Structure 1
Amino acid sequence: MTITGYAALLRGINVGGNKKVPMARLRALVEGLGHHDVTTYLQSGNVTFTAEGGEEEPLAAAIAQAVADTFGFPVDVLVRDHAYLAAVRDACPFPAAELEAKQLHVTYLSRTPDPERYAGIDRAAHVPEDFRLGDRALYLYAPDGLGRSKLAEQLARPAVQKGLIATSRNWNTVERLVELTRPAP
């Protein structure tokens, strides 16, 4: 069977003192599930690992259950393989090389959303901010950063997010996850 590199993206941990998950314990938890080459990146819920090729959803469900069992609270988890992460990076509709990492974000989604879900957002009211949809991803250009983005607020509204797991990463993290999940030569 083929060994594949994956990233598990945990939503909303270690933010504002809530849902605290120490990275050493998270690495041990993922290793305890039988995965290898486990690393964490930053404190915001990025875990990379290798495993014999498997389906993303069952891998995510196993990690989510283990986090709930270990830490006592539920956490949404998305798992994406190296090929997907690289494809999302490569498909970026914005000039990533010309922008600061804080200006460009990818929101990874549990499924490709219907564009109609975003029809109520007045894009013109948010210029120069902009967004584009991709394969289970939303690309956000926020020139003043995510924390000041009014468009990001609109995109995160419960009515827009309903039924989706969504977790955002800045461009540095997008790039780093591609590198960390790259198969060994």
Structure 2
Amino acid sequence: MTTYLSILRGINVSAQKLIKMDALKKLYENLNFRDIKTYIQSGNVIFCSAENDPKELERIISSKIETEFGFEVPVIVLNVKTLEIIIGKNPFAKDDLKDSSFLHVTFLADNPMPFSKESILEKKAPAEEIHFTQNAVYLYCPNGYGKTKLNNGFLESKLKVKATTRNWKTVKKLQQLTLEQNEK
């Protein structure tokens, strides 16, 4: 069995696409996943599966959510190693001058299509910083994520890929939970 983290996009936001975590956990149980643990209401689920293909797990989970709840929810599934790599590549986390409460990671479902960095950078506020990798975009938003134009929807439209964003505190907690699960 492999330990995975699935991150759902756009549930329980502004009373849209409501899914209670106990119902989500039950859905994962019905998919024969094991050792299921949810974290906060935004759709973060740690689980174990015999399936070795994260893309297949994304398809299975998303399809089951649509069947059970009647709406489409993009799902990104990462194994422990991939999550560790994404966390390790955050250039802003290593900067002691940056307040970690303003750090965010936008997880990408696929590699982005060729895109114009300039068209993204022109939307950046003066104090904001952004860094791109193959499967994540790192943001430093000292004025708050709620005020940035570099939000999830904007990045999805520019990169032509499904994505979901989590703050650094949540990312670090998810790392801890996946590592604990993986050690069992």
TM-score, normalized by length of structure 2?
0.89
Q: Equivalents in 1 of 2:156, 2:166: separation in Å?
A: 19
Alignment match, 2:178 = 181
- Answering whether residue 15 of structure 2 is matched by residue 17 of structure 1, we say yes
Indicate how the Cα distance of structure 1 residues 97 and 25 shifts in structure 2: closer, same or farther if over 3 A, else same.
Answer: farther
**How far 1:95 moved relative to its partner?**
3.2
Indicate how the Cα distance of structure 1 residues 88 and 125 shifts in structure 2: closer, same or farther if over 3 A, else same.
Answer: closer
Superposition map of 1:36-185 within 5 A: 36-96=34-94, 98=96, 99-114=98-113, 116-123=115-122, 126-152=125-151, 156=154, 159-162=157-160, 164-182=161-179, 183-185=182-184
Contact 1:129 1:151 in 2 (8 A): no
1:10-64 per-residue CA deviation (whole Å, 9 max, x = no partner) reads 1000000000000001001011111111011100011110112510010011100
1:89-140 per-residue CA deviation (whole Å, 9 max, x = no partner) reads 1111113573444300000001222463433133595221011112310001
Q: How many residues align?
A: 181
Q: CA RMSD in A?
A: 2.1
User: 2:176 corresponds to which letter in structure 1?
Assistant: E
Q: Secondary structure at the match of 1:40?
A: strand
Q: Equivalents in 1 of 2:178, 2:158: separation in Å?
A: 30
Q: Secondary structure at the match of 2:119?
A: coil
Q: Equivalents in 1 of 2:84, 2:165: separation in Å?
A: 16
Q: Equivalents in 1 of 2:124, 2:170: separation in Å?
A: 28
User: 1:16 corresponds to which letter in structure 2?
Assistant: S
- More displaced stretch, 37-46 vs 118-127: 118-127
User: 1:127 corresponds to which letter in structure 2?
Assistant: P
Indicate how the Cα distance of structure 1 residues 115 and 127 shifts in structure 2: closer, same or farther if over 3 A, else same.
Answer: farther
Indicate how the Cα distance of structure 1 residues 101 and 125 shifts in structure 2: closer, same or farther if over 3 A, else same.
Answer: closer
Paired-residue identity, %: 35
Q: Which runs of 5+ in 2 are unaligned?
A: none
- More displaced stretch, 70-79 vs 46-55: 46-55
Q: Equivalents in 2 of 1:102, 1:88: separation in Å?
A: 18
Q: Which runs of 5+ in 1 are unaligned?
A: none
TM-score, normalized by length of structure 1?
0.89
